[in-house]
Amino acid sequence: MNIIHAIVLAIIEGITEFLPVSSTGHMIIASSVMGIQSNDFVKLFTIAIQLGAILSVLVLYFKRFFQSIGFYYKLFVAFIPAAIFGLLFSKKIDALLESALTVGITLFIGGIILLFVDKWFNNPDVKEEKEISYLTALKIGFFQCLSMIPGTSRSAATIVGGMSQKLSRKAAAEFSFFLAVPTMFAATAKKLFDFYREGHVVTGEEIKLLAIGNVIAFVVALLAIKTFITFLERRGFQLFGWYRIVVGGVIIILYLSGHNLQVIG
């Protein structure tokens, strides 16, 4: 991995992490096009740059994180299912991560679902995070577990989960952003722990790549979140649905054509 690879992947992470389009699918295509060879540091990089994306949520919604202790309780309740499922099925999840075909199919199917989400859940009762009950938070947490299937998109799973519980598009999207903070932080911490436990050491050049990646992911994610909320309120999910169908179709076609697609996340 060189600095150009790091910049491109960080931009992709910043754009796709909070959109319902699957960052994993885009990483596959980008790594294939750029010829990035998967190794332990590359896998660490694609997870660790999530910290930059997390920081963008904290900056944009700074006041929300200091409004009440109940806010944190809800995030904790929503985080529990993913924490449990992640620990119980980590080996099976890692096996799925090796399959680009799984990512392509999941992207495609998820795209079809997004085409109809606006019609299925068009009568919201919950307009703000403070109106979300603990039971609703828990249910959204179970939806987040679906994102353990590569290509699903954590954002898509939690937003659709929120809308199924009568949250408005904006409320569902914002709660998805908030829930990303503990979820992505835990995933990054685990990846770092495993990296060092296996005896790896980060070199000075790799530290520079991580720093650049996180800064770029932070800036791009700031813009992506603000743009996404505005677009979502006005247009809904159909465009994202069609986009996922195209990206999923491209991955499936490339895979069946014999291209060496690597899941590097």
What is the per-residue pLDDT for 91? Answer: 66
pLDDT at 24: 75
What is the model's pLDDT at position 150? 80
For the chain, what are the domain ranges? 3-256
> What pLDDT is attached to residue 80?
94
The two three-digit tokens of residue 103, written as one number = 């990512």
Note the pLDDT of residue 94: 61
The pLDDT score that the predictor gives to residue 220 is 95
Question: CA-CA distance, 40 to 141, in Å (whole number)?
Answer: 29
231 in Cβ contact with 77 (< 8 Å): no
- Listed as ranges, residues in the chain with pLDDT below 70 are 90-98, 260-265
The predicted pLDDT at position 263 comes to 58
- Tracing tokens 């399959």 back to the chain, one arrives at 99
Say what the pTM is.
0.86
pLDDT at 127: 80
